[in-house]
Structure 1
Amino acid sequence: MQTTFRSVFISDVHLGTKACQADHLLDFLQKITTETLYLVGDIIDLQEMKNRAHFVDTHTRIIEQVLDMARTGTKVIYIPGNHDAFFRQFAGQTLSGIDIRLNARHTTSDGRTFYVSHGDEFDQMIKISPLMLAIGDRAHGLMLSLNQWINGVRRLFGLPYWSLAGYLKTHINKAKEFIERFETAALKSAKNHQVDGYICGHIHYASFRIKDDVLYCNDGDWVEHCTALTEAPSGQLNLIHWSEQPRHLATEPLNDNWGFTPNGSPTPSKAT
């Protein structure tokens, strides 16, 4: 049985790398139908594949699933990120039924307008030096390798998936400061674009944040947390955490006082 959404936003899949949680994503895509699917950048990690490609059968099946969705009526919009920036040169074109854009505006069924982009454009705005970005990329790769090892051990003991990266991002002050600066930059950009909110990915941290009636939404990733942002037919936005236990559609309950954190726990925040 499939669950129907009005729109679904996913990003930071990193196909072509060992870190990609391809089994979970394929399972998710096979269990939903949606009017519009937004691929919000870093879908295929061309940057990492220059050094070492890991493109297994499940990765190919994900691409086939997306193409099949486009053929059967789903509007698929692809906004390349910094790891698949090669595809930005095709912005404005439609390839195999997939619209490629640098950014997009999405209007929910309840009339709110959101600006949609990958989010890497904020890297310079929040003063991350090229050296720190390079160090961060290497450290992040090591962290993902450790994450795979830790969860392999956890599976042996029947324990659910746990994100090392997610834990560090919520317990290291520098990481928390970076996330806050990123969110602030996106909220400011939404104000400049005169929209009701901003939807992006890039930092691998799914969350909602509201300030001055502007809503920030980050759809997370499919290497550490397996999250997607969904819009219900009513226009309500939710974050879905597609963890190993259970592997079925289950949204985090959202109301005026509670939001979502990647580890599945609610946290105080204004959400919609």
Structure 2
Amino acid sequence: MKRKLDIVVISDVHLGTYGCNAKKLLNYLNSIEPKHLVLNGDIIDIWQFKKRYFPKAHLKVIKKIMNFSANGTKVSYVTGNHDEMLRKFTDTEIGNITIVNKLLLELDGKKAWIFHGDVFDVSIQKAKWIAKLGGWGYDMLIVLNRWINWYLQKRGKERYSFSQKIKNNVKSAVKYIGDFEKTASDLAIENGYDYVICGHIHQPTIKVKSNSKGSTTYLNSGDWVENFTALEYRLKRWKLYNYTNNKLIPFIPDEELKDMNTKDLIAAITIVEQP
């Protein structure tokens, strides 16, 4: 029997790249029935997208997400840096699928703030100024990130990518992760959020963070490249699901997907319903 969940948050899937573990993700998605699926950024890796590499399993993940939507699951696609091209479609709604830059939810009397987290790469030490500007300040950071990457491309340089920069320096990576968690948590406390939920840094965790002004619960959904993790909300509690450690009953892929060839899958995810 599939597990019924109120909210599921996944991020950093990187469909369209060799590092993506689409089969494991598909197996996980086939094991759950969420009321609300939050795709918290970097789901399709548009930065590294190659026309010749988009395997059948990657297409099946997209089809599965669309099936969720068609069957009544609310799907919120929160944009990240690797899929930042979708930010031009912010607030677009297609059936039960909505594209947003950030997501605010009321959960059993508590407030949750969900965003990918790449905006902190602009200047993590000075990012607290957006606490004084609220949602408008956060949106301005997104615009600033977009212009920075546009400028880098014009100069023939690579787009800014945190993950590429820290792989050669473990010490700086640890410091960045600590700064990232503190900045996100301080902002959440400043704005009165009980939960702050991020992705981006591929570090799955749930922890309570405090400062002199209060406390909040910081959550990170991790990734489906190395950690294979997701956040699940049910019975007023958050749980960090780990595909490797949590026992998972083997699920056969949906019958609708199992025998579909690549051509059929492409047709299924590109069809446009007529009113």
TM-score by length of 1: 0.73
For residues 32-43 of structure 1, the aligned pairs below 5 Å read 32-43=32-43
1:174, CA displacement in angstroms?
Answer: 2.3
Cα RMSD after superposing both structures: 2.7
Distance 1:135 1:96, change over 3 A: closer
Deviation at 1:247, TM superposition (A): 3.9
Partner of 2:219: 217
Give the Cα separation in 1 of the matches to 2:15 and 2:65.
13
1:23 maps to a residue whose letter is: K
Shift of 1:127: 5.5
- Once the two structures are superposed, residues 211-263 of structure 1 have per-residue CA deviations (whole angstroms, 9 ceiling, x without a partner) of 2321110010001100000001x1100100012884449xxxxxxxxxxxxxx
Q: Which residue of 1 aligns with 2:118?
A: 120
Of structures 1 and 2, the larger Rg is shown by: 2
1:27 matched to which residue of 2?
A: 27
In 1, Cα distance between equivalents of 2:37 and 2:113: 15
* Equivalent residue number for residue 11 of structure 1: 11
Identical counterparts, % of pairs? 33
SS at match of 2:63: helix
Cα 1:127–1:188 change in 2 (3 A) is closer
CA 1:72–1:135: 2 relative to 1, 3 Å: closer
C-alpha deviation, 1:188, in angstroms: 1.5
- Alignment partners' CA distance in 2, 1:214 and 1:68: 34
1:88 corresponds in structure 2 to 87
Question: For 1:49, what is the secondary structure of its paired residue?
Answer: coil
**Unmatched segments (≥5 aa) in structure 2:** 127-147, 251-275
The CA distance in 2 between the partners of 1:248 and 1:185, in whole Å, is: 38
State the aligned residue count. 218
Partner of 2:171: 173
Q: Give the Cα separation in 1 of the matches to 2:96 and 2:68.
A: 9
Q: Distance in 1 between matches of 2:28 and 2:110?
A: 26
Q: 1:107: how far off?
A: 2.0
Evaluate the alpha carbon distance shift between residue 245 and residue 230 of structure 1 in structure 2; reply closer, same or farther with a 3 A threshold: closer
Question: What are the within-5 Å matches in structure 2 for residues 1-272 of structure 1?
Answer: 1-49=1-49, 54-109=53-108, 111-126=109-124, 137-138=163-164, 172-212=170-210, 213-232=215-234, 234-243=235-244, 246-248=247-249
Contact 1:206–1:220 (CA under 8 A) maintained in structure 2: yes
Q: Return the TM-score normalized by structure 2.
A: 0.72
The answer to whether the 8 A contact 2:125-2:179 is kept is no
